[in-house]
Amino acid sequence: MLTLHFAPNSRAGRILWLLEELSLPYELNQMAFHPSDLKSEAHRARHPLGRVPVLDDGEVSLYESGAIVEYVLARHKNGGLKPEVNDPLFPEFLQWFHYCEGMVMPPVNTIVVQTLLLPPDRRDETALGQAQRLLTKALGPVNDALEGREYLIGDFSAADIMLGHACFMANRLGCVSDDMSALKAYVTRVSQRPAFKIAIETQ
C-alpha cells in the first residue's frame, strides 16, 4: 500500500492529484503545515529537512515531488500519463515536466515567502517585485504553448500534474495576467478535473 505524507498548500497536492488520476489505492498521513508536525522527530526521519511530500511504498521511501511522480508512473502505471520514449511528443513532455521546478516555482516560492510567510516588517518589496516579474516571464512560454491545446502536450499527462499545479498556484497568487488567456483557460480546465478537486479540497 502506498502511503503519502501530506500537508496542505504544498507540493504534496501534486502527488495526491496523481494518485487520484491513476485510481491507485493509498493511505494519507495528513499533517498540519506547521513545524509541530513537519519538524517533528517522526517526520524528520522520513525527510531530513522536514518537508512534504514523502511517499512510502513498502520498503521504499522517497521525497521530491517530481521524483515521486516518475517513480509512481514507472512502478505502478507503466505507460500511463506520459508518452513513450520514441513518441515525437516525449521531448516536449520532459521539457514541461521539468520547467515547473526550473522556471516557475522558484519565483512562486519567493512570492509566497514575501507575501504570506514573513511578517510585514521583514518583507522585501524589491525581492517581491523581482520575483513577480520573473514569474510573468516564465509563464509567457507556457501560455504560448497552450494556444490551440487543451493540455501541455495535447492530451492530459503527468507534465500537467507538475506544471498545472504550479500554474494554479501562480493564478491563486494573482500572478497570471488576464492577457494570458490560454493559460487562464488551462488553469480553469485543470481545476475542474475530478481528481484535482479531491486533491485541492483535501487542502
Residue 203: predicted pLDDT? 63
Residue 80: predicted pLDDT? 87
Q: How far apart are CA 48 and CA 195, in angstroms?
A: 30
Q: Give the cell for residue 84.
A: 513513450
Segments making up each domain of the chain, as ranges: 2-81, 90-193
Strand partners, 27: 3
Lay out the sheet containing 54-57: strands in order across.
26-30, 2-6, 54-57, 60-63
Q: Taking the C-alpha atoms of 177, 106, 30 and 4 in order, what is their torsion angle to the nearest 10 degrees?
A: 110
Residue 19: predicted pLDDT? 97
CB 10 within 8 A of CB 33: yes
Q: How far apart are CA 183 and CA 177, in angstroms?
A: 9
Residue 199: predicted pLDDT? 93
Domain 2-81 has CATH 3.40.30.10: yes
Residue with cell 493564478: 171
Q: Give the cell for residue 2.
A: 502506498
Element (H, E) at 29: strand 26-30
CB 172 within 8 A of CB 188: no
CB 196 within 8 A of CB 18: no
Positions of the chain with pLDDT under 50: none
Q: How many CB atoms lie within 10 A of CB 91?
A: 11
Q: How far apart are CA 24 and CA 51, in angstroms?
A: 23
* CB neighbour list of residue 197: distance below 8 Å, 6 or more residues apart: 191
Q: Which value, in Å, is the radius of gyration of the alpha carbons in the chain?
A: 17
Q: May I ask the CATH class of domain 90-193? A: mainly alpha
